[in-house]
Amino acid sequence: MPDVKITIGNREFEVACAEGEEHFLQSAAAMLDNEAQVLVDQIRHLTESRMLLMAGLMLADKTAGMEDNLKIADKKIAQLEAELAEARAAANEAPPGVSDTLSELAARAEAIADQVDGKTG
């Protein structure tokens, strides 16, 4: 299990992670560090635990906002998919009476063809 050095709020930490997960740990640490830097820049004498707590809460707040936006987007996608399915179904359905009209036209065409056949035969 590799140990990875990360920096959060100008403080170094050594953290163990699973083999091959180093990149994900570094990425998560960078996100946490971005939030911690805001706090460090605003409050000079911030304890390590308070800095980590506040930075974690700030990330959690952003994540909750993104989850809310994702739920809204999922609902909109479902609505648009339903509208698309309705539109496709409507496009594939013949309006009432079209089948009867087409059958009548086919019958007339056959009658005309029979007449033409009778005149030439």
The Cα angle at residue 8 between residues 6 and 13, in degrees rounded to 5: 45
Over its length of 121 residues, how does the chain's per-residue pLDDT go in tens digits?
A: 889 999 999 999 999 999 999 999 999 999 999 999 999 999 988 999 999 999 999 999 999 999 999 999 999 999 999 999 988 887 777 676 777 788 888 889 988 888 877 776 5
Q: Nearest to residue 58, comparing CAs of 76, 43, 39? A: 39
- Summarize pLDDT for 86-106 with one digit per residue, the tens: 888 877 776 767 777 888 888
Task: Domain of residue 40: give its range.
Answer: 3-120
Residue 64 dihedral angles phi and psi, to the nearest 5°: -60, -40
Q: CA–CA separation, 24 vs 9, rounded Å?
A: 19
Collect all residues with Cβ–Cβ distance below 8 Å to 107 and sequence separation of at least 6: none
Max Cα separation, the chain? 109
- Dig out the tokens for 119 from the structure: 């005149």
What residues form DSSP beta bridges with 99?
none
Burial environment of residue 84 by CB neighbours within 10 A (0 to 12, 13 to 18, 19 or more): exposed
